[in-house]
A and B are shown apart, each in its own frame.
Chain A
Amino acid sequence: MQTRPLMTLQVVVAAPQKIGAVPHGTRTTAPIASGHFEGPRMRGKVLPGGGDWTLLRADGVLELDLRVTLETDDGALVHFASFGLRHGPPEIIAALGRGERVDPSLYYFRTTPRFETSHPKYLFLNRLRAIATGDRRADGPIYTIEEIL
């Protein structure tokens, strides 16, 4: 598999909504307050109003379902959605839960972003698939997103 850099995306999460035990695990929704993204072909900000709908499964794997709207610096709106998985050794996941800074290579945090836009300049986003490596920080994750070539 070959990839090339698409963007680095940082989202800032607001207070999580702890919905609790549901049929498939423990559900927590993290509203997205803001954020920004930057890459060789596009840059801009994350609009408030998105969210990351997470589900902690019984096997300890966290499923993530992030949906946000990106606004490029030249005014295009891009719908962004990514499914992901996060898991790791219990002590590492506990440290993340306490908001500590952890080397992202010590846990598995990967997502598969998808994009939709109508803006002519960014139509290439409609025709690609991507993978991302996540780095969980206290105020929200940073994703390094690469286009799958």
Chain B
Amino acid sequence: MTTRRGFIELAAAATLAGCTHMPAPKKPPTEKRMSTTMRARPLMTLRLATAPTQELGAGPHGTRLTFPITGGTFEGDRLRGKVLAGGDDWAIKRADGVIELDLRVTLETDDGVLVHMTFEGIRDDAAPGAPYFRTLPRFEAPKGKYTFLNEMLAVGVGEIRADGPVHLIEEIL
């Protein structure tokens, strides 16, 4: 994955934060180490299909843009299925150019469970190097197989592709 901040910083951050998919090297459990274990693992790839953007114009917080969600898919080791039509991403383009995202959708797993999903995030197309498109998804699942979704925080890395946005979502361990 490439990001805007450059390879050297990435490598440094990965080393310092242990934030890769590889197990962190064993180190003595110093206090510092104990409190800086930031790790993640893949949760799903979410692909959204959107209808034409509704541009509502300038409002008190910026330019309001609503992206209706008409469908989509999600796929991961622990869950997969489709995105139901009827959700939206209620976005605001701020005066500094950053778009704040506020998405709500319903997921339907391939075994018929409905999961409420939201995310808050930002998209900064002017970020140096590459757009900075990061989201913080949250889930509400009924008691059962997918309860684990209720107990995690997650991070999504978004990309705009020709056929719609794609979010690579990882569970924060």
User: Which residues of A come within 8 Å of B, CB atoms?
Assistant: 1-5, 8, 59, 61, 83-85, 87, 103-105, 108, 110-112, 123, 126-129, 131, 133, 135, 142, 144, 146, 148-149
B111 within 8 A of A: no
Contact with A along B121-148 (1 / 0, CB 8 A): 1101001000010111000000000010
Separation of A104 and B38 alpha carbons in the complex (Å): 12
CB neighbours of A131 from chain B (8 A): 38, 136, 153, 155, 172
CB neighbours of B121 from chain A (8 A): 129
Taking residues whose C-beta sits less than 8 angstroms from the other chain, chain B's interface range is: 35 or more
Considering the complex, give the chain A residue whose CB is closest to the CB of B121: A129
The CB with the most chain B CB atoms within 10 A, among A3, A59, A61, A128, is that of A3
Q: Is the CB of B37 within 8 A of A1?
A: no
CB neighbours of A61 from chain B (8 A): 150-151
A84 to chain B, nearest CB (A): 7
B1 within 8 A of A: yes
Main secondary structure of the interface of B (DSSP, over half): mixed
Of the A-B pairs whose beta carbons lie under 8 Å apart in the complex, a sample of 30, sorted by A's number, is A1-B19, A1-B170, A2-B14, A2-B19, A3-B19, A4-B9, A5-B13, A5-B36, A61-B150, A103-B29, A103-B34, A104-B35, A108-B151, A110-B153, A110-B172, A112-B136, A127-B98, A127-B124, A128-B132, A129-B122, A129-B135, A131-B153, A131-B172, A133-B38, A144-B36, A146-B19, A149-B3, A149-B5, A149-B9, A149-B13
